[in-house]
C-alpha cells in the first residue's frame, strides 16, 4: 500500500433517501443537531448562485486529499465518480493555485457529480458564479494547478476541523457546508426534523400571541447574572 498516493475503492455510500431528506434541511439546523461541533468553518463558502430555491447541495462524499496546488487526483476522482457524489477535497487551504475550473466541473457534471467542496481556490468565476451548480471553495485564483500528485482518494479527510469519511452525507447552502456521518444519518435526520417542527411553532407564536421569553431571565438567574 502506497500511503500518500493511492486510490481506495469499495467504500459504502449513504442511502439516497437519507441524502435527499437531509438535503432539504438547513445546514444551521443540521449543525445544531450534531452538537455544533461539525462544520467546515467560515472559509469554505458558496461560489455559485442561488436562484429560486436552487443551488443547494446534497450528496455523498467522494473524498480527495491532495497537496496544495495540485489537482491530479481530483481529475481521477471525477473519472471514477458515481451519480450523486460530491467531490470533497482537502488541499490545505492554500489559495495560490486554483484546483478546479469550468472544464473539470463540466466533466464531473456529465458523470452525475452533484457538487464540489474544496478547501482551496477555484477559477472561471464568470461561469461558476452565474450557475446554480454547487461549488464551495475557499477563494479564487486565476493561476492554474499542477498535475503531479501525490494524493489519495477514498480516505478520511478534514476540512477546517470537519472530519469527512468516504460515503458521508454532504449538505451545503448559503450558510456553508456540513458533513453528516453515514452511521449517524438516521438519528441526525430525526433530531433535525423535530427542530424544524419546533421552530415552525415558534414562528407561528411570534406571528400570533408572541414568543414566551420567560426562559431568558430564568436562564440568566441560574447562571448568576445580577440585576435580573
Question: Tens of pLDDT along the chain (228 residues)?
Answer: 567 999 999 999 999 999 999 999 999 999 999 988 877 778 899 999 999 889 999 999 999 999 999 999 999 999 999 999 999 999 999 999 999 999 999 999 999 999 999 999 999 999 999 999 999 999 999 999 999 999 999 999 999 889 999 999 999 999 999 999 999 999 999 999 999 999 999 999 999 999 999 999 999 999 999 999
Cα 182 to Cα 186: distance, rounded to the nearest angstrom: 8
Which pLDDT does position 2 carry in this prediction? 66
Closest CA to 73 of 13, 120, 136: 120
Which pLDDT does position 183 carry in this prediction? 95
Per the confidence metrics, is the pTM higher than 0.85?
yes
Which pLDDT does position 9 carry in this prediction? 95
Cα 100 to Cα 95: distance, rounded to the nearest angstrom: 12
Which pLDDT does position 161 carry in this prediction? 86
Which pLDDT does position 71 carry in this prediction? 98
Task: Give the dihedral of Cα atoms 77, 17, 168, 154; nearest 10 deg.
Answer: -30
Report strand pairing: 115-118 vs 135-137.
parallel
* Count of Cβ atoms closer than 10 Å to residue 164 Cβ: 25
Amino acid at each position: 500500500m502506497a500511503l500518500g498516493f493511492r486510490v481506495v475503492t469499495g467504500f459504502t455510500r449513504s442511502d439516497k433517501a437519507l441524502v435527499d431528506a437531509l438535503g432539504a434541511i438547513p445546514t444551521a439546523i443540521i449543525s445544531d443537531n450534531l452538537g455544533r461541533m461539525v462544520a467546515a468553518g467560515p472559509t469554505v463558502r458558496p461560489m455559485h448562485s442561488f436562484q429560486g430555491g436552487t443551488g443547494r447541495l446534497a450528496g455523498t462524499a467522494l473524498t480527495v486529499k491532495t497537496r496544495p496546488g495540485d489537482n491530479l487526483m481530483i481529475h481521477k476522482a471525477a473519472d471514477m465518480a458515481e451519480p450523486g457524489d460530491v467531490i470533497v477535497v482537502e488541499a490545505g487551504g492554500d489559495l495560490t493555485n486554483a484546483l478546479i475550473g469550468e472544464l473539470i466541473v463540466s466533466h464531473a457534471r456529465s458523470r452525475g457529480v452533484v457538487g464540489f467542496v474544496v478547501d482551496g481556490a477555484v477559477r472561471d468565476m464568470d461561469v461558476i458564479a452565474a450557475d446554480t451548480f454547487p461549488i464551495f471553495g475557499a477563494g479564487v485564483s486565476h493561476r492554474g494547478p499542477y498535475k503531479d500528485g501525490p494524493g489519495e482518494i477514498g480516505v478520511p479527510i478534514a476540512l477546517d476541523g470537519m472530519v469527512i469519511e468516504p460515503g458521508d452525507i454532504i449538505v451545503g447552502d448559503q450558510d456553508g457546508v456540513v458533513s453528516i456521518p453515514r452511521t449517524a444519518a438516521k438519528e441526525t435526520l430525526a433530531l433535525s426534523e423535530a427542530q424544524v417542527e419546533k421552530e415552525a411553532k415558534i414562528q407561528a407564536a411570534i406571528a400570533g400571541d408572541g414568543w414566551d421569553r420567560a426562559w431568558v431571565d430564568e436562564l440568566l438567574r441560574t447562571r448568576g447574572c445580577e440585576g435580573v
